[in-house]
Structure 1
Amino acid sequence: MATGTIRYWAAAKDAAGTAEEPFEAVTLAELVTNITAGRDELKRVTARSSFLVDGDPVGLRAHDAVVLPEGATVEVLPPFAGG
């Protein structure tokens, strides 16, 4: 199980009530399940968000296939308005 930091941006930060927090998870799917338990608004925001793992976009990869390395920084990027 990897430990690391998850950072929230924009609407995700508002929904989480914090800019960042530590995590323990093996995959991105497990991490999202853990952070959204009992946090309905955060669950709604993450469902439409993009993710970066150590600066690399997850893209369309299945979240259960994204294994998190020890010390990873995961960033939650909700859709941004504007151009």
Structure 2
Amino acid sequence: MANSAGSRKRARQAVGRRAHNASLRSMVRTYIKKVRAAIDTKNYDDAQAALTVAIPYVDKMVTKGILHKNKAARIKSRLNASVVALKG
């Protein structure tokens, strides 16, 4: 365990920050799952709507440092390709 007062405070802050980050990560994963579920139903309109909702959340996680920018780009690209494949 940390010894100095400052490092004890840092340890306390890390616990709260970790919980907050986990919550945000879980939220964005839920939006991604909603897009994948819409893709599985093979309904283009629902999948497109779910993707439109999910993309801003993925981008927000990049600015907050929850996701790496390349991972976010990969997620968006794969979801978009799957949705476009439904249309064609």
Q: TM-score, normalised by structure 1?
A: 0.28
Q: Which has the higher contact order (CA 8 A, sep 6+)?
A: 1
- Report the structure, 1 or 2, having the larger strand content: 1
